[in-house]
Chains A and B, each alone.
Chain A
Amino acid sequence: MSLLPDFALMLLILIAAVWTVSARDRRDSVIGFIVVGLLLSLAWIRLNSVDVALTEAAVGGGATGLLLLRACARLGPNETEGVSLKVSLRILTGVLCTVVAVALATIVLYPIEPAPTLAPTAAAHMGEIGLGNPVTVVLLAYRAIDTLLEKVVLVLALIGVWALTPDPLWGGAPGSLRAQHSSGPLTFLAQVLPPVGIVIGVYLIWNGADRPGGTFQGGTVLAAMWLLVMMADLREPPEIRLHTLRRLVVLGPVVFLVAGFAGFWIANGFLSYPPDLAKPIIVLVEAALALSIAVILGMLVAGPAARAPR
């Protein structure tokens, strides 16, 4: 009986996934994907991973969905895009996918007992950091190098997107994000929501130290507010040569690096924090990272420059 909700959720996810892959229209497929993203965040709550659920909803479904919808709009009316390949290839792929699925399912069905875990070790050292949210501690202390390098990935992705700017337009602004039928309601939303959204974003970042939430979730909410304002045409996307923009993008990684190197003097090595200063340092790093994430996500959605610099 208690399995019923989980079973229903799993079924819904799989149906939505099949729909996403098999839909003939590409916009239907994107909508299917967004639905999968939202259902998956419910699944993450059921898996007791609220931090991941928030990230999945904000980044996985939300930001990725927006990106894909914009791509659909730019690609225009679509020719039908169904899978239309040789039957032999389809059978071969089907067999391959089934083999992978069966192997994975077998492994999932016969887990190791007792399940190996790092939870006790992670919990044992949390006192040295003084934060209440174990996931934040893993992201910013135990495995801080992953998080640092992942910020570098984001900066590189932004460079990669900007690299697609045609040469004469370099330094200019991305094309307007204005929705096709932008109108009263959107403008109204873009005027009312951002103050609330910014409060919620900051709350998520601040709260992330001790309870679910954190840099990514908060940063994405901030980015969403910015994108909303741009889509309602209240603000234009900034020119990519702007020094302020560039500095905001690197702010997070730079603060993180400074904190990391400070560890050589004030603690015992790169990315280590002295126990009494750990919390303020981490909160500072998180705030800087969130700001950078917000700017990077916004600019990634906006795309390469489409207008020459003024």
Chain B
Amino acid sequence: MTPAAYTATEGGALLVVAIVLPVIGMLAIFALGLRRAERIAYLVLPVGLLVALAIAADVARSGAAVTYVLGGWQPPLGIALRADGLSVTLMVLTAVVLCAVGLVARGSFSTPPDKAEARSPMVFWTLILGLWCALNTVFLSQDLFNLFVALELLTFSAVPLVCLDGRRETLQAALRYLLFALIGSVLYLMGAALLYGAYGTLDLAGLRLLARNDLATSVALGLMIAGLMAKAALFPLHLWLPPAHAGAPAAASAVLSALVVKAPFFIILRLWFDVAPQPANAMAAQMLAWLGIASILFCSVMALRQARLKLMIAYSTVAQLGYLFLMFPLVMASDAPTAWESVGWTGGVLQLVSHALAKASMFLAAGLIAEALGHDRIENLDGAMSVVPISVAAFGLAGLSLMGLPPSGGFVAKLMLLTAATETANWWIAAAILLGGILAASYVFRVLNRAMAAPASDFACKASIPLYRELTVLGLAICAVVLGFVPLQPFAFLGIGRVGLP
């Protein structure tokens, strides 16, 4: 059993920087206890964005994956990092969203000038940087146990963000989130133990070469995917998500909804397409899709029934995550030469990216609206348009992507999924996509309707919002829309490094 060796490519050291840089920032904030925690974060955020862009440029220029072998120890003994088109796309996405969140969070998480260190800024900025390290590790690592450590990093950074305000409801939500995440981790780890027992390696490329279609492999992959489903909040394991994402401060909710739940899904993609013996199990693919359909329909209806804006957006997150799981049967049945060249695969990944941008923008906009009005009850949103018009506009633009209306990234994504569904005669999936769009339109318009209504006579604005914060939120929404104008050609980028893994 000698899987082909990884060869470190020239720019590989940058992958290490992408993982380690946030850690350095986090440790610096923690240890130095300097006047203001956010200064270090503002130093790290742009550098991290540049690193992600540099790696992306490298991948685009060479048309091949960037690889690094840690410590020079070849897998399966050591661990390799590898950035293909998909992981680089997600790294850039992460960096963009985090930078935007960083800008918007400046208002809410600045250390008061009279204190050396305050609790919530210190915790917020260290955890955001911890999250970043975790996400980059998830996107780059080629080792299933290292991915476990990355998932734990993600959990430990995400959970305290939920209960930053220390209220009873948010503490409850955080505890429930933690328990779900821990069940997920332990099931994942159990699968990893079985795979190691069966193959003596946890390296993705090695497993791809060795994977057999036997009981141990099926049980291992089943346990791992079940665990990851709990972390990615797929119906019926979604119960933890709405209170957790709605309870967190808006800036944190944006990161949790846009990025954190995508990490376990990304690992499912890796397991499904890179590890599982092909062709994958058709029944399992159908089951994932059915759970996805249930997520879309059930949680869209739940979103319609919420009284609070942030809870509505949180339910919408579960619904939109459901779309991601539709791709499994669509990819299997397509006649594209490889899974990642099929319309279904590209549509699914595009949905991931456009939802991340749209949802981050939506949560941030909701946060600004709540800050300006002093509450987030949907019934009493009237007058929002006159106080924070740009945020309401951003909310609407982001809504386009969720509904799947043109022009938006969400439109292209859902259109591709729909095409794939009709081509492969998966009529139920096609119907769910259409119905989900209609439901999304109803919950988005319900909010816009109220927000654009004339304000009541006793209307009072609680706080004025600086323009740069609103513009940042609008920028994210515009990114989600512009994604719909990008010609389909560059989507070949997503497939870089996936054909003929080393």
Contact = CB atoms under 8 A, between A and B. Distances in A.
A263 B78 CA distance: 16
A141 B31 contact: no
A164 B127 CA distance: 14
A263 B153 contact: no
A163 B197 CA distance: 39
A153 B216 CA distance: 30
B123 A257 contact: no
B160 interface: yes
A268 to B, nearest CB: 5
A33 to B, nearest CB: 16
Contacts of A115: 197, 200
A193 to B, nearest CB: 31
A241 B33 contact: yes
B428 to A, nearest CB: 26
A11 interface: no
Interface in B124-146: 126-127, 130, 133, 137, 145-146
Contacts of A263: 71
A145 B149 CA distance: 10
B466 to A, nearest CB: 24
Contacts of A153: 149, 152-153, 156
B72 A121 contact: no
A145 B126 CA distance: 20
Interface stretch (A69-77, A203-211, A269-277): A269-277
Contact of A146 (B76, B116, B145, B223): B145
Contacts of A253: 23, 27
Chain A contact residues: helix, strand, loop or mixed: helix
A203 to B, nearest CB: 28
A150 B150 CA distance: 9
B183 interface: no
A117 B76 CA distance: 10
Contacts of A246: 30-33
A141 B146 contact: no
Interface stretch (A23-31, A102-110, A220-228): A102-110
Nearest to A100: B223
Contact of A116 (B68, B120, B171, B200): B200
A102 B149 CA distance: 28
Given A106-B215, A159-B126, A166 B27 contact: no
A90 interface: no
Contacts of B16: 270
A144 B123 CA distance: 27
A125 B73 contact: yes
Nearest to B199: A116
Contacts, number: 162
Given A107-B194, A116-B198, A159-B127, A144 B70 contact: yes
A156 interface: yes
A142 B197 contact: no
Contacts of A250: 27, 30-31
A145 B77 contact: no
Contacts of B216: 107, 112
Contact of B78 (A142, A243, A260): A142
Given A107-B215, A145-B146, A153-B152, A257 B71 contact: no
A247 B31 contact: yes
B287 interface: no
Give the interface size class of chain B: 35 or more
A163 B164 contact: yes
A94 interface: no
Interface in A135-194: 141-146, 149-150, 152-153, 155-157, 159-160, 162-167, 170-171
Interface string B144-174: 0110011011001101100110100001000
B149 A243 contact: no
A271 B13 CA distance: 11
Contacts of A264: 13
Contact of A118 (B71, B76, B190): B76
Contacts of A107: 194, 197-198, 215-216, 219
B212 to A, nearest CB: 9
Contact of B73 (A116, A117, A142, A163): A142
A122 interface: yes
B70 A112 contact: no
B215 A146 contact: no
A152 B26 contact: yes
Interface in B24-67: 24, 26-27, 30-33
A17 interface: no
Contact of B150 (A149, A165, A249): A149
B70 A163 contact: no
A159 B198 contact: no
Contacts of B199: 116
Given A156-B156, A160-B159, A164-B166, 10 more contacts: A104-B190, A107-B198, A116-B1, A149-B146, A153-B156, A167-B166, A170-B119, A243-B31, A246-B33, A250-B30
7 interchain residue pairs of minimum CB distance: A116-B200, A160-B160, A170-B119, A156-B156, A271-B71, A272-B71, A163-B160
28 contacts: A103-B215, A103-B219, A104-B190, A107-B216, A112-B198, A115-B200, A116-B200, A141-B71, A141-B73, A142-B73, A143-B73, A146-B79, A146-B146, A146-B149, A149-B137, A152-B26, A152-B133, A155-B27, A170-B118, A246-B32, A249-B31, A250-B27, A263-B71, A269-B8, A269-B69, A269-B70, A270-B68, A270-B71
